[in-house]
Amino acid sequence: MHIDILTLFPEMISGVLDASILKKAQDKGTFNYNLVNFRDYSENKHLKVDDYPYGGGAGMVLTPQPVFDAVEAVKSRKKTKPRVILMCPQGEPYHQQKAEELATEEHLVFICGHYEGFDERIRQHLVTDEISIGDYVLTGGELAAAVVIDSVVRLLPDVLGNVESASEDSFSTGLLEHPHYTRPADFRGMKVPDVLLSGDHAKIAEWRREESLKRTYERRKDLMDD
Ligand code: ADE
């Protein structure tokens, strides 16, 4: 998978993508990314990328020209029709199903802004998806894009060591994960449930399913509603 990220602050992204499992995925060639500073595409003599809103009001608005040109450049470089994803608080709320859907694509383009808004023509004529990572406002879309990219890349083939670790994730089963324990069996008097030491795999599977249901009911009843 190839990912292009349009941002005015590339340093907000690279630290996240160049560490741990995402770094290993790059080394294996499973995914690679390219940071595009769309200011480089500005035709303004001062390389401006924003302007005052028509109709007045506070804040600046990202102008369409640098964003359109940057997206068109990455599209023609790769000769693909990528999903073009705008990160914004007004977008579709992000969830695991969307991560699974995006993980099937070969090329993704993320647009991250730091201003009051985007010119509406970017939304209407350039963007295929608008994503919000939650009902709060960040200073820009970079951290949100990093969240989405992390959750997508870990689903790509051979990125996670254990083939089962993604299929048993919280959410991919529709429920939250069951509790986990490791050695020692007794830590300062806090004991591991007997069933996990029993060696009875059917019983262990049943216990895990029940704990998963209980945890989902207690913490995220909304996941059980449909
Ligand atoms: N940009 C600013 N806040 C955001 C959010 N909650 N989700 C996605 N992009 C954002």
15-44 pLDDT, tens digit each:
999 999 999 999 999 999 999 999 999 999
pLDDT per residue as tens digits for the range 83-136: 999 999 999 999 999 999 999 999 999 999 987 799 999 999 999 999 999 999
Contacts of 220 (CB under 8 A, 6+ apart): 176
Average pLDDT of the residues of the chain: 95
* Protein residue with least CA distance to atom 2, ligand 1: 138
Q: What is the mean pLDDT of residues 218-222?
A: 96
Q: With a 6 A CB cut-off, is 146 part of the ligand 1 pocket?
A: no
Q: How far is CA 39 from CA 54, 115, 119, 125, in A?
A: 21, 13, 15, 20
Separation of first and last alpha carbons in the chain: 33
Q: What is the mean pLDDT of residues 188-195?
A: 98
Would you say 174 is a known binding-site residue? no
Contact indicator for 195, 204 with CB cutoff of 8 Å: yes
- pLDDT at 169 (0 to 100): 79
Would you say 59 is a known binding-site residue? no
- pLDDT at 114 (0 to 100): 84
- pLDDT at 164 (0 to 100): 55
Please give the share of the chain, as a percent, with pLDDT higher than 90: 90
Neighbours of 39 (CB within 10 A): 14
DSSP line for 37-51: -GGGG--STT---EE
Domains and CATH numbers, the chain: 2-153 (3.40.1280.10), 169-224 (1.10.1270.20)
Strands 107-111, 83-93: parallel, antiparallel or unpaired by DSSP? parallel
161 pLDDT more than 90: no
8-state DSSP, 35? E
